[in-house]
Amino acid sequence: MTRSYSVERTVNGLRWPAMTLIAVMLASMTLQALDVGGTFPRVREGSAGDDPVFHVSDTARPVAEAAVRLALRPLRLRDAVWAAGSRLASVPDDDERCLAQAVYFEARSEPLAGQLAVAQVVLNRVRSPWWPDSVCAVVFQNERWRHRCQFSFACDGLSDRPREMRAWRIARMVARTALDHGWPDITLHATHYHADYVRPAWQTQMVETARFGRHLFYRDARLAARSVEDFPADNRHHQGRAREAGGDTAS
Q: What is the pTM of this model?
A: 0.65
Q: Where are the alpha helices (DSSP H) in 108-244?
A: 112-127, 135-139, 165-179, 233-244
Instruction: Please state the separation of Cα 38 from the chain's center in Å.
Output: 35
How many CB atoms lie under 10 A from the CB of residue 101? 25
Query: From its phi and psi, is residue 56 left (phi > 0), alpha (psi between -120 and 50) or beta?
Result: beta
Q: Report the C-alpha gap between 222 and 216 in whole angstroms.
A: 18
Q: For the chain, which residues make up each domain, given as ranges?
A: 8-72, 77-244
At position 176, the amino acid (one-letter code) is R
Q: Report the C-alpha gap between 82 and 14 in whole angstroms.
A: 9
Per-residue pLDDT of the chain (251 residues; tens, 9 = 90+): 444 333 444 444 444 455 455 555 555 554 554 444 444 444 444 444 454 444 555 666 666 666 665 556 677 999 999 999 999 999 999 999 999 999 999 999 999 999 999 999 999 999 999 999 999 999 999 877 776 788 888 888 888 899 999 999 999 999 999 999 999 999 999 999 999 999 998 888 899 999 999 999 999 877 655 444 444 544 444 455 554 443 333 32
